[in-house]
Amino acid sequence: MKKTAVVALGGNALLRGNEIGTIQQQEKNTYDTCISLLNLLKEGYNLVITHGNGPQVGNIMLRNEAGYNNYKIPKMPLDICVADSQGGIGYMIERQVYNLFKDQKIKKNVVTLVTQVLVDKNDPAFQNPTKPVGAFYLKEEADLLARVNNFIFKEDPRKRGWRRVVPSPQPIDILNKKVIKDLVSKGNVVIASGGGGVPVFRGEDNKLYGVEAVIDKDHASALLAREIGAEAFYILTDVPKVCLRFHKPDQKELDVITADEAQKYYDEGEFAAGSMGPKILAAIKFVKGGGKETVITDSTMLGNPDGGTRIVGSK
């Protein structure tokens, strides 16, 4: 039986930091990123692809505000904005993977699932928004938007500007995990849990309700990987390896570390909360939850035995 890998595409896999986000730019970036996934197929993996939505959902939220302010179009709640981004980005990835498979003469089906992810409505994250979404702004622009729209902004750890932050509760359950597992076990490439999944909670009447939040895609992807029994979890980002003392003169790249070592570095404050921190925590949870390894790297290093940082149970 084939192995399963869950691959979490970072926002930069679709939209580079210096781009405005035209569909042509995003389609090219998506195709180029998906080329690297061929290396995992050659290694015998079945694939589940997840993805971020930070820039895209931020743009949808801005359209929300512009439509209401200019034309009185009713605003949609954040869970609907996440679902919009999940469908649009999933469609774009699905089409580019299909085109790639056609070019490579690979006979595989590709399917996108709009995925609901259960959260706790009393999660403390709702009192402390930390998840960055949307574009980078100058401090003056962020202050103005905060006053006009009651948004909350925080400065980017890498000093690229100020971004809006929203609540990011912990995922509890992937609601259609059984369907995902069944599809991928039959050799289909499945795109799921996009943007961390659509956040929902279960009410006292046992019905599902949307909630104003964006779930971290790496935490949701790690949970999905554990729940479907994946052997490997890949987190694709914009750096080839995880580093200690990032962007400092004595920066040190990490090759292979244990989950316990990763936890130690995290506790020492090595990884920023809005950047590498969630990826490290997701990697730890996957490995300690029974996964073989997590690899954090950029897409160009997939399939390279020396590429990326590997987090394992033991060396």
Q: Does the annotation count 131 as an active-site position?
A: yes
* β-pair partners for 10: none
Q: Which residue has the tokens 């995880």?
A: 242
* β-pair partners for 220: none
> CA 219, CA 8: separation in Å to the nearest integer?
10
Q: Does the annotation count 279 as an active-site position?
A: yes
10, 131, 134, 176: the catalytic one is 131
90, 279, 285, 308: the catalytic one is 279
HSE on the CB side for 247, CA within 13 Å? 8
| Residue 299 vs residues 7, 36, 173, 239: alpha-carbon distances, Å | 10, 6, 28, 9
> CA 161, CA 138: separation in Å to the nearest integer?
6
Helix spans in the chain (H) = 23-35, 37-42, 54-71, 78-104, 139-149, 177-185, 217-227, 259-267, 277-288
10, 12, 181, 308: the catalytic one is 12
SS3 77: coil
46, 134, 195, 217: the catalytic one is 217
Nearest CA among 174, 301, 277, 175 for reference residue 225: 174
Q: Does the annotation count 313 as an active-site position?
A: no
| Residue 292 vs residues 45, 137, 187, 234, 289: alpha-carbon distances, Å | 13, 40, 20, 11, 9
Which residues does the annotation mark as catalytic?
A: 11-12, 131, 217, 279
